[in-house]
Amino acid sequence: MLQLLAPDGTYGVPQEYAEYGEIIANLSEFELTRLYRDMARMRRFDTEATALQRQGQLGLWVPAIGQEAAQIGSGYALAKNDHIFPSYREHGVAITHGVELMSILKLMRGVNHGGWDPEETRFHQYAIVLGSQVLHAVGYAMGIKLDGKVGSDDPENDLAVISYFGDGATAEGDVSESLLFAAINDAPIIFFIQNNQWAISSNVADQTRVPLYKRGVGFGVEGMQVDGNDVLACYAATKIHMDNARGGKGPFLIEAMTYRIGAHTTSDDPTKYRDELEVESWRAKDPLARFEIFLRRQGIGDDFFEEVVRAGDELAADIRSQTFALKTPGLENIFDHVYTEPHPEIDRQKAWLLAYEKQMGAHE
């Protein structure tokens, strides 16, 4: 397993991973502190969103606390043209690619129809159906190759795709089919598994007999395992293999070993199936804590960390006020984006619904 930053904040590059260490050696102070800043921002956003759901402001929330390193590290390793196909927990990757955080909250509140423009952000829509986005990602990657946008050594032309999914999704047939099609077509895609150890209430030990990074080998997709709580390892692994995919070397699979500290969603109670000692053992491997130690050893002082806390408080206050101010759209809005142009059948159904609402209102 690739680990550059140990839980106690010690940094070291194993000899067999020298090329990964070279990637980190080239990071500037700005790039390093940005990683921490956005990991902290992701956690503050996540904490506030959970509170908003508990207060009835969101229909549902999908926590990602504990997975900040895997998401922020990999997200910042991508090039400007790369496309991202997330599942429903990639709030941190969304941060790295300019998705407005209120768009995610509006989605979870049910007041919009998708939330953001995937062509503008290159961050595609959340996929609630487990593993379905992996098929979409492979198809997009195959299209990129057919369009000649791979292997030209032109950074303005070439791009690759990354698809995020969890350990539970690896049991879906869609993922196996995706690995097969990616392999036989040499598709420029990275499969990024966030192995957070639990698929709702099913532990990973009950899901597979082999490490998940080896799942692709039978299809011809090589893989590796990284410490998913080590932001530097996640950054380096993703950068190297996305560069390879963009250069025409085909697909690759990364398994990031991390942990879902919170619930699967706010509809879940993990105390029913998890041992608290297990949770505490993973808290000791916290991705932010180890990276803070590393940065302090690089000479980053209190002023920076205090500013990060202040920025987090401001973010929380801002999204709270915006969420409480959200208006519920009229029910007729469900017809607005069915077709790009007006359609008589849609008009008929909309008129029927409005008449029905008016009739029901008269009986209140």
**Alpha-carbon torsion, ordered 191, 196, 197, 200, to 10 deg:** -100
79 in Cβ contact with 155 (< 8 Å): yes
* Sequential DSSP letters for 225-271: EEETT-HHHHHHHHHHHHHHHHTT---EEEEEE----S-SSTT--GG
d(C-alpha 326, C-alpha 53), whole Å = 14
- Contact between 294 and 5 (Cβ < 8 Å): yes
What region does 148 belong to: left with phi over 0, alpha with psi -120 to 50, or beta?
left
Whether 235 is catalytic:
no
Confirm if 78 and 235 have CB atoms less than 8 A apart.
no
Which residue in 54, 113, 273, 356 is the catalytic one? Answer: 273
Residue tagged active-site, from 136, 215, 260, 290: 260
Look up 363 and say whether it is catalytic.
no
Q: Which one from 122, 215, 264, 290 is the annotated catalytic residue?
A: 264
Pair of tokens at residue 87: 């599942």
Secondary structure (DSSP) of 119-172:
HHHSB-----STTHHHHHHHHHHHHHHHTT-SSSS-TTT---EEEEEETGGGGS
Q: Supply 9's token pair.
A: 């904040």
For the question of residue 264 being annotated catalytic, the response is yes
Which residues are designated catalytic? 260, 264, 273
